[in-house]
Structure 1
């Protein structure tokens, strides 16, 4: 990406939009999982998955940000690379919990 201020502004706006969508998805996941726990319908595999996914996603996000940084990406691309695994997982969790 060039250093054009408009391009950078649009890149950061896209990141903000993606972040907002991720936050909405994660809020829904938290509500749905809390309801499952409260009603006693959460299975042991679901509980284990819920706990294990945190470390896995963190490691993936860190790796992707490091690769982007080592490749000379600009800050917006590094941020987008780090955000993508979280966004993908929260959207996947929402689809799974709705179905």
Structure 2
């Protein structure tokens, strides 16, 4: 169940920015759970979700906090979170997220 990320202004979904696979999504679960508790926004793994700039900045903050809680023995999670964090920082206005 990968998630495909597009720029929110790409209404024709012509250029996929990146994809998160199941391992990525599983690693992000604490962040996604915090996003839902804070904003009520849920990323639908089987449908279409739009998240806007304020949600992205919140997710960036949540990922950064989550990274601080991980010890160095969990390098694979750190690598995934760091990669996702870098991708999120590239976007200005938001994402259209398409579930499988």
The TM-score range, normalised by the shorter chain, is 0.3 to 0.5
**Which of these two proteins has the greater Rg computed from alpha carbons?**
1
The structure carrying a bigger helix percent of its residues is 1
TM-score by length of 1: 0.35
TM-score by length of 2: 0.35
The structure carrying a bigger strand percent of its residues is 2
